Chain A
Amino acid sequence: MSAPLTEEDELAAAELALGLAGEAERQAGQARLHDDAGFADAYARWLGWAAGLFDGLAETPRPSLWRRIEASLPANDAAADMTSRLRRWQVASWVSGAVACVLAAVLVTQALPLAGPGPVAGALQAPMVALLSGADGVVSVSYDPATTRLTVVPDRLRTGGRTPELWVIPADGRPRALGVMPADTPGWMAAPPGAAKAMGAGVTIALSLEPAGGAPGDHPTGPVILSGRMGATA
């Protein structure tokens, strides 16, 4: 407990918490919260008491409201997380690029059969599939390197009215657009040549939400809501 507040301070804290203060007092009070712990405690106490005025009024909202909230969640934190992961991949790309070169050299010289993620190098010819998952639905993406075609199947995908666009992110960390996809029906598309070259087992496939027609530039502009890793089927 801090030093006891004067009556005037206590009243000021109560007025701030209950919203009684005028604008000038409110601003002064807000500023004071930062550097007067006793005042901040009193304010928190009054806020807690005031919150109790809503006791006994609980009422369950319609279940659909959660769907609405979830669908409208800006992917700020998640996207920031995703973005930072993308950046880490970018940073790591120099390293993994070097590793890939070494691996390629090893492969060439020793002809070892190597399973698992092999970034970019050694284009697999067998069809590949990625399952993209996240809070906003699931999308399965299969890719046939022979035809460079993608088949996409969205399941309960929530786009909030925006256009889902797929990206391939290989080891260099730079996303290449695979194209926009239907939000609620299966579909197929041809991977653009640059993106097709980047395809391979182990690459990341990400889905971002974009304006109609897809991202205007060559990188995602909206939140990345789903991602998954491309795996070989054979």
Chain B
Amino acid sequence: MGHDTATLSPRPLDDALRAVARGDRAAFEELYRLTSAQLFGVCLRILPARAEAEDVLQDAYLSIWRRAASFDAARGSAMAWLITLTRNRAIDRLRARGVARETADATGLVETVVDPAPLASDLIETGQAQGRLAECLDQLETGDAGLIRTAFFEGLSYAGLAERIETPLGTVKSRIRRALLKLRACLQ
């Protein structure tokens, strides 16, 4: 009955996920209804071609169906869990295509790319004050924010970033670590 009580619960996604973990298809449909637009946004952000984004979204929901039991409400919000899982599927797809490199070639160096993020004012509530990271990123120097966004949206590690902007790994790492500490100060 997870999906019936879901709409009444203060944490409907938690309830829906728990029901999905028990194999409740109705709850799964409810979960899809509640989250598919947001998760499709995640897919599109990483893979702008709609057909591919849809494939990944389908993939992501199949993973959600299989892995719902591993969601732990004590370890963050359901939406963050769903977004993380979906983002990881999209990144997997991106890597499988080896497109990260093509994008780099097409867009030039990250250093010169203007931060492509939407304004933080355009937030949709995801349960917590998650949109604050976007706000705090806006307070960083543009280059730093762009690097962090690029890493996150393209699944690049320090090494990948260093290669991308043709900068020594150590330099990139210390630069981003400084930015991360600023972010944390801003976020807390």
Measuring CB to CB, which residues of chain A are less than 8 angstroms from any residue of chain B?
7, 10-11, 14-15, 18-22, 40-41, 44-45, 47-62, 65-66, 68-70, 72-74, 76-78, 80-81, 135
Cβ–Cβ < 8 Å partners of A57 in chain B:
38, 41-42, 44-45, 118
Which of A11, A14, A15, A58 has a CB less than 8 Å from the CB of B124? A58
Q: Return chain B residues, CB-CB under 8 Å to A19.
A: 91, 151-152, 155-157
Per a CB cutoff under 8 Å, which of A7, A15, A21, A59 touches B44?
Answer: A59
In the complex, A189→B149 CA distance in Å? 60
Find out whether the CB atom of A78 lies under 8 angstroms from the CB atom of B23.
yes
CB-defined interface of B116-157 with A at 8 Å, one 1/0 digit per residue?
Answer: 011110111110111111100100000000001101110111
What's the least CB distance linking A84 to chain B, in Å? Answer: 10
A59 touches B37 (CB 8 A): yes
Residue of A nearest to B156 (CB): A19
Using a CB-CB cutoff of 8 Å, which residues 164-184 of chain B contact chain A? 176-177, 180-181, 183-184
Q: Contact at A52–B57, with CB atoms within 8 Å?
A: no
B137 nearest CB across to chain A (Å):
8
Q: Which of B8-16, B59-67, B98-106 contacts A (4 or more CB under 8 A)?
A: B59-67
| Chain A residue contacts of B41, Cβ below 8 A | 54, 56-59
Cross-chain contact A21 with B83 (CB below 8 angstroms): no
Answer whether A60 and B80 are a contact pair too, CB < 8 Å, given A51-B130, A55-B131, A78-B25.
no
> In angstroms, how far is the closest chain B Cβ from the Cβ of A70?
7
Residues of chain B touching chain A, judged by Cβ–Cβ distance below 8 Å, are: 21-23, 25-26, 28-29, 32, 36-38, 40-42, 44-45, 54, 57-58, 61-62, 65-66, 75-77, 79-81, 83-84, 87, 91, 117-120, 122-126, 128-134, 137, 148-149, 151-153, 155-159, 161, 176-177, 180-181, 183-184, 187
Give 6 CB contacts A-B under 8 Å: A14-B184, A44-B75, A51-B79, A66-B29, A76-B65, A76-B66
Shortest distance in angstroms between A82's beta carbon and chain B's nearest beta carbon?
9
Which residue in A49, A50, A56, A73 is a CB contact (below 8 Å) of B118?
A56
| Contact yes or no, A61 B54, CB < 8 A | yes
Could you tell me the distance in whole angstroms from the C-beta of A30 to the nearest C-beta in chain B?
13
What's the least CB distance linking B169 to chain A, in Å? 9
- Whether B130 contacts A69 by the Cβ 8 Å rule is no
In the A-B complex, the 8 residue pairs with the closest CB atoms: A77-B23, A52-B130, A57-B41, A56-B122, A44-B76, A49-B133, A51-B83, A51-B80
Known: A59-B37, A76-B65. 18 other contacts (CB 8 A): A11-B180, A19-B91, A19-B152, A19-B155, A21-B157, A49-B130, A50-B133, A51-B79, A52-B129, A52-B132, A54-B87, A55-B124, A56-B124, A60-B37, A60-B40, A66-B29, A73-B62, A81-B23
Q: Does B57 contact A50, Cβ atoms closer than 8 Å?
A: no
B45 contacts across to A, CB distance below 8 A: 54, 57
A54 to B183, CA, bound (A): 17
Across the interface, do B130 and A58 meet the contact criterion of CB distance under 8 Å?
Answer: no
